[in-house]
C-alpha cells in the first residue's frame, strides 16, 4: 500500500517514483564521482605540497610565514565560493543540473592544469603568487557548483530508500581524490630530491586535471537531466529567479544547512587536508610517513562513507548528524593530545578514528542538504549554504589552525576550533526535522 503524506490537513498519496534503469544510474554515479574526484585531487595536491609550493612562490620569507602565505592563497580562493554557489545554483535550477555540472568541470580542470604551468617567484617575481591566487579564485568559483550539483543530480535519480547510500558516493569521491593526491604525494616525495620537487615534481599532479576533466565532461553530456528537473520543466514550474525565491521563502533551511555544514567544513579540511602538514610541521614527522598515515586513514574512510550512507537511510539523517556533533565535541581534544610523541602506528589509528567520526557527518550531509530544499531551489539552496560555510570556515581552516598555533603557542588550538564547529552544527540539527525516507519535496 502506498504511503501517505499530509497536505494542508488532508492526506494524499506521494508522487510515484520514476523508475531509473540500472545502467543509467551507474552512469549518473560515475559522472558525479569524476567531477568531485578532480576537484579534490587538486585540493589534496595543493595541501600536501604546501611546504614545496611555499618555497617556490614565497622563497624570500621565513618558512613559517611562507607556509602561512600558501594557506592564505588557499583560503582567499574560497571567498568567491558563495557567489559561485549562487551563480551555479541559478544555472542548475533554471537551465538544468547537467548543464551546470558540465561547465563547472570544464572550467575547473582547465584552471587546475594552468597551475602546473605557472612560473615560480624566481622567474617572474611577485607576479607568480598573484597568478597563483587568480587561478585558485577561478578554481574556487568553478568548484562551488560541483559538490552541490553532483549531490542533487544523484539524489534526484535515486530511489527514496537508497538515497543516502547512493548520494554518499559524493563524499566518497572527494575522499578518493584526497587519497589519490596523498598516494601521489608520498610517491613523489620518496622518488625525487628536494630540488626536483621544487623544480617540477609539485607540478605533476596538476597536469592530470585536464584529461580527467575531459572524461567527466564526456560522460555528463551523454546523460539526460534528472527526472525531477525534467518534471519541473514539463509542468512549467522552473523559477525565473530561483535565488530570489530561496532567500524569500527558505531562510530557516539556509541557516540550518549553513550551521551543520560548519562541522563538515572545519573537520574535512583539518582532518583530511591539513593533518599531514600538521604532523610534519608540529609533530616533526617525515613527509613520507605523514602521507602514508593519511593514505591508510583515507582508504578506511572511503569504505566507512558508504556504510554511513546505508545507516542514514535506516536510522535517519538527524540522528546521524547529531551523533557526529556530540562525538566530535567529546573526543576531538583527547585524540589530538595523543598525537604528540606517538608512534606511526598510533598516529594511523588516531587518524582512522578521526576519519570514522567525520564519516558520520560527511556520509550523511549531502543527502540531508538535498532533502531540506524543494526541487525548484534545491541546487541554489545547497550550493549557497554549503559554499558559504566552506568559504568562512573550510578553506580558511588550515590558515586559521596555523595562525592559532602561532598565536597561542599551543599545538591543541586546532582541536578546540573543531570542537566549536561541532557545537554550531549541533545547534543547527536540533532545530531541524527528519528528512529520511520521504519523497523529495517539490
Tell whether 14 is covered by a domain.
Answer: no
Residue 261: exposed, middle, or buried by beta-carbon count in 10 A (0-12, 13-18, 19+)? buried
Tell whether 232 is covered by a domain.
Answer: no
Q: How far is CA 343 from CA 61, 347, 350, in A?
A: 32, 6, 11
Task: Say if residues 154 and 167 touch (Cβ distance below 8 Å).
Answer: yes
Tell whether 325 is covered by a domain.
Answer: yes
DSSP assignment, residue 156?
T
CA–CA dist 152, 384 (Å, integer): 13
Tell whether 15 is covered by a domain.
Answer: no
Task: Say if residues 117 and 222 touch (Cβ distance below 8 Å).
Answer: no
Q: How many domains does the chain have?
A: 1
CA–CA dist 253, 276 (Å, integer): 35
Q: How far is CA 319 from CA 260, 308, 315, 389, in A?
A: 13, 12, 7, 21
Task: Say if residues 294 and 271 touch (Cβ distance below 8 Å).
Answer: no
Per-residue pLDDT of the chain (442 residues; tens, 9 = 90+): 333 333 333 323 344 455 666 677 888 888 888 888 887 888 778 877 888 888 899 888 877 788 888 878 877 878 888 999 999 999 999 998 888 988 888 888 888 899 999 998 889 988 988 999 899 889 888 888 888 999 999 999 988 899 999 999 999 998 888 888 878 888 888 888 888 988 888 899 888 888 888 888 887 877 788 888 888 888 877 778 888 999 999 999 999 999 999 999 999 888 877 887 788 877 777 777 887 887 888 888 888 999 999 999 999 999 999 999 999 999 999 998 998 888 888 888 998 999 899 999 999 999 999 999 999 999 999 999 999 998 888 878 888 888 888 888 888 899 999 999 999 999 999 999 998 888 887 6
Q: How far is CA 212 from CA 28, 77, 113, 177, in A?
A: 16, 22, 10, 11
Tell whether 94 is covered by a domain.
Answer: yes
CA–CA dist 194, 182 (Å, integer): 17
Number of H helices, E strands in the chain: 24, 2
Provide the grid cell at 324.
557526529
CA–CA dist 390, 395 (Å, integer): 6
Provide the grid cell at 85.
554557489
Tell whether 370 is covered by a domain.
Answer: yes
CA–CA dist 271, 280 (Å, integer): 14
Domain extent, residue 134, equals: 21-222+240-430
DSSP assignment, residue 394?
I
**Crossing angle (nearest 10°) for helices 146-155 and 97-116:** 150
Tell whether 27 is covered by a domain.
Answer: yes
Long-range contacts of the stretch 190-197 (C-beta < 8 A, 24+): 190/288, 197/49, 197/52
Provide the CATH number for the domain around residue 195. Answer: 1.20.1250.20
pLDDT for residue 416: 94
Tell whether 228 is covered by a domain.
Answer: no
Provide the grid cell at 123.
622567474
Place of cell 543540473: 97
Amino acid at each position: 500500500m502506498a504511503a501517505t503524506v499530509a497536505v494542508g490537513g488532508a492526506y494524499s498519496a506521494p508522487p510515484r517514483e520514476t523508475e531509473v534503469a540500472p545502467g543509467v544510474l551507474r552512469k549518473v554515479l560515475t559522472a558525479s564521482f569524476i567531477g568531485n574526484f578532480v576537484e579534490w585531487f587538486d585540493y589534496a595536491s595543493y595541501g600536501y605540497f604546501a611546504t614545496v609550493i611555499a618555497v617556490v612562490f614565497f622563497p624570500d620569507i621565513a618558512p613559517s610565514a611562507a607556509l602561512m602565505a600558501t594557506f592564505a592563497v588557499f583560503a582567499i580562493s574560497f571567498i568567491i565560493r558563495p557567489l559561485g554557489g549562487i551563480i551555479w545554483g541559478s544555472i542548475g535550477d533554471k537551465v538544468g543540473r547537467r548543464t551546470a555540472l558540465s561547465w563547472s568541470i570544464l572550467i575547473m580542470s582547465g584552471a587546475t592544469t594552468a597551475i602546473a604551468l605557472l612560473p615560480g617567484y624566481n622567474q617572474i617575481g611577485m607576479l607568480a603568487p598573484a597568478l597563483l591566487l587568480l587561478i585558485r579564485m577561478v578554481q574556487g568559483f568553478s568548484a562551488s557548483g560541483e559538490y552541490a550539483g553532483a549531490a542533487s543530480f544523484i539524489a534526484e535519480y535515486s530511489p527514496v530508500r537508497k538515497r543516502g547510500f547512493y548520494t554518499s558516493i559524493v563524499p566518497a569521491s572527494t575522499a578518493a581524490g584526497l587519497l589519490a593526491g596523498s598516494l601521489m604525494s608520498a610517491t613523489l616525495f620518496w622518488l625525487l630530491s628536494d630540488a626536483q620537487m621544487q623544480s617540477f615534481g609539485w607540478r605533476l599532479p596538476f597536469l592530470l586535471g585536464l584529461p580527467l576533466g575531459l572524461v567527466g565532461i564526456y560522460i555528463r553530456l551523454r546523460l539526460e537531466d534528472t527526472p525531477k528537473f525534467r518534471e519541473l520543466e514539463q509542468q512549467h514550474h522552473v523559477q525565473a529567479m530561483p535565488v530570489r525565491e530561496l532567500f524569500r521563502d527558505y531562510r530557516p533551511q539556509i541557516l540550518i544547512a549553513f550551521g551543520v555544514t560548519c562541522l563538515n567544513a572545519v573537520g574535512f579540511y583539518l582532518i583530511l587536508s591539513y593533518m599531514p602538514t600538521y604532523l610534519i610541521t608540529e609533530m616533526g614527522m617525515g613527509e613520507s610517513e605523514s602521507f602514508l598515515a593519511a593514505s591508510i586513514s583515507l582508504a578506511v574512510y572511503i569504505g566507512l562513507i558508504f556504510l554511513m550512507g546505508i545507516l542514514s537511510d535506516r536510522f535517519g539523517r538527524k540522528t546521524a548528524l547529531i551523533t557526529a556533533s556530540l562525538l566530535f565535541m567529546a573526543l576531538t581534544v583527547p585524540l589530538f593530545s595523543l598525537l604528540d610523541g606517538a608512534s606511526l602506528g598510533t598516529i594511523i589509528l588516531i587518524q582512522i578514528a578521526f576519519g570514522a567520526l567525520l564519516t558520520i557527518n560527511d556520509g550523511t550531509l549531502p543527502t540531508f542538504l538535498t532533502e531540506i530544499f524543494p526541487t525548484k531551489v534545491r541546487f541554489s539552496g545547497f550550493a549557497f549554504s554549503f559554499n558559504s560555510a566552506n568559504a568562512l570556515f573550510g578553506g580558511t581552516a588550515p590558515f586559521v589552525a596555523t595562525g592559532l598555533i602561532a598565536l597561542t603557542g599551543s599545538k591543541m588550538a586546532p582541536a578546540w576550533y573543531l570542537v566549536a564547529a561541532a557545537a554550531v552544527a549541533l545547534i543547527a540539527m536540533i532545530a531541524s526535522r527528519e528528512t529520511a525516507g520521504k519523497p523529495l519535496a517539490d
